[in-house]
Structure 1
Amino acid sequence: MSHSLVFPDILLYLLDMVGVIACAIAGTLLAQHKGFDISGCILVAMVNAIGGGTLRDMALDRHPLFWMTDLNYVIVITVTSLILQIFFHLYHKIDKALKLFDAIGLAAFSVIGFKIALNQDMSPIIAIMMGVWTAMIGGMLRDIICNEIPLVLQREIYITASIAGSVAYLILQQFGVSSGINEFIMLFIIFAVRMLALKFDWHLPSIRLVA
């Protein structure tokens, strides 16, 4: 079942596409930087863009997988990756560009995964987990393929941003905020927290026991 059938609201479907494009860009940027060929860059873009959603749908027993019934996902990812490979020379600051598009994908996919779980009557905790999975797994697989330490396994404010947005949604829902407005507030919170963490170099503390 495609996301467009689950969410008749065209805005949420477009939000999903924004996340797909952002993650395809992030995946292609890293793969191109690592010297991958054309097909390798497209593969990394695919994994980055639909890897998390695929695992989420398998966990929630949603079949067939969304990208198998809506070829727009595969087409958009492929075209985005090819265009970016052609104009890759314009991206001089690879790290900043990668983290910007990664943050966009983080926010968009967190909202999508969270809402899909809620619409399947999952508990708030499971919904938050599905939001995290949708947003994180693709990026983790991308980094592993490209021989990088995944961002989410470092002290980055990453998972925390996704959880903060989900919790804000649940709180505002109790105050009667409409679903559409709540989704965009959640989107903004996640993106803002992630970008502020990058700007001000916020990190989660690590626990180390003194011998």
Structure 2
Amino acid sequence: MNSLYVLDLIGTFVFAISGTRAAADKNMDLFGAAFIGFTTALGGGTIRDILLGTQPVNWFYDETYLWVILSAVIFTYLFNSLTHKLKATLFLFDTIGLGVFTIIGIEKSINLGITPPYALIMGMVSAVVGGIIRDTFCNEIPLIFRKEIYATACLIGGSVLLILTQFYQINNIASYILAILIVLAIRIAAIKWELKLPTLN
């Protein structure tokens, strides 16, 4: 079991919790919450694989993803009040998932021979599309379309990863962790100091 696969499962779990929690906040039933959790966790990777021509998509080959998502849904259901109170912790998990899926998207793209700039875009797609689906289904404006720094954190963290792996050949778990920490640091800094991207008006 390689480190990327483990990171992928971790990202799937935390994004599934994020989606299920968002559905619970909208008073959806258990099926609705499970559906939102599923699409949040796998939406970005599915779109990425379709764009890259990887069909059937990655998770069709591995039932582990399904069980990880179901575990996240059950965990959120059983500890509903706890997950509702720990929104700061869920933000942390969501941001870690953001960093993890950025890495997964970049590495899978590079392994398929995609050039670094497009690999960076695929990393961002992997990270943010699940959240777009979650917010849309929950009748919210997706975070990526608000002033809050979200996709930008993925692009910066992903750029650092590409510099380390493509220019310095530092392709190991340390480079992955560093990229995740950069995404995490940018998101935390953006919330703490209310850093926002400029609007067009």
Q: Taking structure 2 as the reference length, what is the TM-score of the superposition?
A: 0.94
1:136 pairs with 2:145: no
Q: Which residue of 2 aligns with 1:178?
A: 170
Contact preservation (8 Å) 1:132, 1:163: yes
In the alignment, the residues of structure 2 paired with residue 38 and residue 158 of structure 1 have an alpha-carbon distance, to the nearest angstrom, of 28
Q: Which residue of 2 aligns with 1:203?
A: 196
How far residue 76 of structure 1 moved from its aligned partner, in angstroms, is 0.7
Q: Which residue of 2 aligns with 1:37?
A: 29
How far residue 50 of structure 1 moved from its aligned partner, in angstroms, is 0.3
* 1:25-64 Cα distance to aligned partner (Å, 9 max, x none): 1001110111111111110000000000000000001122
1:127 pairs with 2:119: yes
Report % sequence identity: 38
Number of residue equivalences = 200
- 1:192 corresponds to which letter in structure 2? A
Q: Which residue of 2 aligns with 1:3?
A: none
How far residue 99 of structure 1 moved from its aligned partner, in angstroms, is 2.5
1:50 pairs with 2:62: no
Q: Taking structure 1 as the reference length, what is the TM-score of the superposition?
A: 0.89
1:41 counterpart SS class = helix
In the alignment, the residues of structure 1 paired with residue 151 and residue 57 of structure 2 have an alpha-carbon distance, to the nearest angstrom, of 24
1:64 pairs with 2:64: no
In the alignment, the residues of structure 2 paired with residue 203 and residue 159 of structure 1 have an alpha-carbon distance, to the nearest angstrom, of 12
Gaps of 5+ in 1: 1-8
1:191 pairs with 2:184: yes
Gaps of 5+ in 2: none
* 1:107-127 Cα distance to aligned partner (Å, 9 max, x none): 110000011111111111110
RMSD over equivalenced CA pairs, Å: 1.5
Q: Which residue of 1 aligns with 2:14?
A: 22
